[in-house]
Amino acid sequence: MRPFMNIIRKWFSQVPTMSLLFGALVAVLLERGLGDPLAEILGLPKVPVLFGFVTMLKKPMLIPSTILYVFLVFVGPISVVAGLSASIANRLLDKLLNFPMLFSVIIHLGLLYAILHLWSEASAYRLLMLKLTLIAIMVTLSLNVINGYMGEFSCSHPGFMALGAYATSVMTVFLFAKDRLFGPPILPPVLGPFMFPFALFVGGMVAALGAVFIAIPSFRTRGDYLAIISLAFMFIVKSLIENLEVVGGPRGLSSQPDYANLPTVFLWTVACVWIINNFVRSILGKALNAVRDDETAADAMTVDTRRTKIVAFMFAAFWAGVAGGLFAHVLRYVNPGTFGIQKLAEVLAMVYFGGLNSVYGSIVGAVSISVLGEALRPLEIYKWIIIPLLLILVMIFRPTGLIAFKAFNVRGLISPKHKPLGDI
């Protein structure tokens, strides 16, 4: 086993992120071109939608051919292409070092988007799952700002999402869609897609204003009392929306226009990761950590704790609101029941599974819980025994989550990986 692992390690030792992206691109192109015939040859009913997890759990007889398919289409091409293109990619990345970093980042993101786009084009299910996963990343990151970086235990995120979702939906439905609640559109629907970012911004701002109601009590209290205040806030928002007949009450609000396509969601997610990553490394982000570790000491060291708290809450709520707005437009239906305890448990699970105080951790947590949730779907209700058990195990063996307290190093991620010097 060990020599085998060594070979793998050596093969990947000089592979930069870019060649992995090349490999993934080749893999999705391969699936697009050869997926159907290959599935037929291997005796699969159709192309496995989610890396074969669902197929394997549903029909255990198909496990060997599904594994073979995944190996032939994904694992094989990715490792071969990544290894082969490593030297070219490294040389390219060397050249890119002469340009601003942004340029290289954009190339990487372009590649990533191309992969996701091609992968999700195969079925509507993949597209929906991808969008929801990207939104989950935004929500998890924004909750991590409060629960991880600032060390509070806030339970109000579903409430912020609901505020954002409803504010955005009301704007778009009122302005650009024909609806039984609001009547015909006021502005020509052609303008809609251009106004959508603005609507999302307004949704985020509404959520941020809501956050003030939690931030102000948080000046005087921490820990459990803040948890209960934020929980009460969540119930109040939910109950308020249920009682507002203008937006449909408990029946919910539908007929949102179809603005949240993959590029939009992807761009907002990238913006969210980028801005939050910069925020937590800024002076204000360090102030958050100081408030978490010792509020009195932070105060003595001239950290304005009140300002820090209010900014952090509003900032996190803004992104939760944006995510809520996108969520409403991806599903094109929203009702207050969505934003309850269930959602809270899901988001908290993502944050604590991935890891506190870490952008990496949030991304890993959101993606793995979403994918796990979908992959274990054939197990039906037992899914909700396996996922909590997994989370309990993670908590027992790594109480702060899988990848906690780790900086998100963009420069390291996109830089070339050269041969170590003495190893020529």
Partner 1 sequence: MVFFLQNLINALQWGSFYALIALGYSMVYSILMLFNFAHGDIFMVGAYIGFGVATGLVALTSMGAFALPNWLILVLTILISMFLTSFVGMIVERVGYRPLRDAPRASAAITGLMIGIILETGNLALLGARRLSFPALLKTHTYDLGGVFVTNKKIMIVLVSLALMGALHQFVRRSKWGMAMRAMAFDYVVVPLMGVSINTIAAMTFAIGSAMAAAAGILFGVAYPVLDPYMGILFGWKAFVAAILGGRGSVLGATLAGFLLGFIEIFVAMIFPSTLRDLIAYSIILLILTFRPHGFFGEPYSARLRL
Q: Point out which residues bind partner 1 (CB under 8 A).
A: 147, 151, 153, 213, 216-217, 220-225, 228-229, 231-233, 235-236, 238-240, 242-243, 341, 345, 348-349, 352, 356, 381-382, 384-385, 388-389, 391-392, 395-396, 399-400
**CA angle, corner 197, sides to 129 and 159, nearest 5?**
65
Residue whose CB is less far from partner 1, 76 or 337: 337
Residue whose CB is less far from partner 1, 168 or 230: 230
As given in the structure block, the two tokens for residue 177 are 């869609």
Q: Among 344, 23, 35, 355, which Cα is nearest to 159's?
A: 344
Residue whose CB is less far from partner 1, 22 or 160: 160
DSSP state, 72?
A: I
Shortest Å, Cβ 246 to partner 1:
15
Residue whose CB is less far from partner 1, 78 or 391: 391
Shortest Å, Cβ 345 to partner 1:
6
Shortest Å, Cβ 325 to partner 1:
23
Q: With contact defined as beta carbons under 8 Å apart, do 351 and 113 qualify?
A: no
The separation between the first and the last C-alpha atoms of the chain, rounded to the nearest angstrom, is 26
Residue whose CB is less far from partner 1, 345 or 410: 345
Shortest Å, Cβ 377 to partner 1:
14
Residue whose CB is less far from partner 1, 43 or 399: 399
Residue whose CB is less far from partner 1, 105 or 216: 216
Shortest Å, Cβ 145 to partner 1:
14
Give the separation between CA 305 and CA 311, rounded to whole angstroms.
10
Shortest Å, Cβ 236 to partner 1:
5
Give the separation between CA 1 and CA 368, rounded to whole angstroms.
27
- Report in angstroms the alpha-carbon separations of 71 from 67, 79, 133: 6, 10, 24
Q: With contact defined as beta carbons under 8 Å apart, do 325 and 318 qualify?
A: no
Q: Among 18, 12, 44, 19, which Cα is nearest to 31's?
A: 44
Shortest Å, Cβ 294 to partner 1:
9
Phi, psi angle pair for 55, to nearest 5°: -60, -45
Contacts for 271 with CB less than 8 Å, ≥ 6 apart: none
Phi, psi angle pair for 183, to nearest 5°: 80, -165
Give the separation between CA 324 and CA 346, rounded to whole angstroms.
14
